[in-house]
Structures are given as structure tokens and as C-alpha cells.
């Protein structure tokens, strides 16, 4: 089983989560909801990997998220 890492980061200015991956060429998605973004990645990743020549594999996806916020004291 192949494992792919998906990086999820929050863009404060655009108020969206962004998904990218060095393991899956062409994967760049965004959504206002983290849960919705994860679902979009689950649908898009196999399609992109198939387009890049991978076939008949079970995928393991590791989601890594980062979010930095400013807090007043």
C-alpha cells in the first residue's frame, strides 16, 4: 500500500483551507471547511494518481494540517 502526504494549511487572508501535496502532482484544492476539503481530496487524489499513471492501488493518505492565528492579550 502506498502512502501519500497531504498538507492542509489555513490562509487567513482568503479564509480558506488549502490542500497541496508533493506526492500527488497537480493536487491543489481549497475550501472554507476543513472537513469538506478532506472529502474533496479523498475524491480527487485517486483521479489525479490515475492520470499520472498509477493504477489498481489502495491508497493511504496522511493529512497534516497547520493553522496559525493571532490572539490579543
**CA dist., res. 57 & res. 33, Å (int):** 28
On the 0-12 / 13-18 / 19+ scale of CB atoms within 10 A, 21 is buried
In tens, the pLDDT along 12-71 reads 999 999 999 999 999 999 999 999 999 999 999 999 999 988 877 788 999 999 998 889
pLDDT band at 1 (very low <50, low <70, confident <90, very high): confident
Look at residue 11 in the predicted model and tell me its pLDDT: 95
Determine the topology of domain 2-66 in CATH: TTHA1013/TTHA0281-like (3.30.2390)
Backbone angles phi, psi at 31, to 5 degrees: -160, 155
In the chain, alpha helices (H): 34-51
pLDDT band at 9 (very low <50, low <70, confident <90, very high): very high
Greater model confidence, 33 or 2? 33
- As a residue count, the chain comes to 73
Look at residue 36 in the predicted model and tell me its pLDDT: 98
**CA dist., res. 4 & res. 71, Å (int):** 33
Q: Answer for the pair 29, 17: CB distance below 8 angstroms, yes or no.
A: no
Amino acid at each position: 500500500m502506498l502512502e501519500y502526504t497531504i498538507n492542509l494549511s489555513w490562509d487567513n487572508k482568503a479564509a480558506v483551507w488549502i490542500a497541496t501535496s508533493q506526492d500527488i502532482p497537480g493536487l491543489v484544492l481549497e475550501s472554507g471547511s476543513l472537513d469538506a476539503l478532506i472529502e474533496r481530496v479523498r475524491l480527487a487524489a485517486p483521479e489525479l494518481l490515475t492520470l499520472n499513471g498509477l493504477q489498481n492501488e489502495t491508497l493511504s493518505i496522511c493529512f497534516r494540517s497547520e493553522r496559525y492565528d493571532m490572539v490579543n492579550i
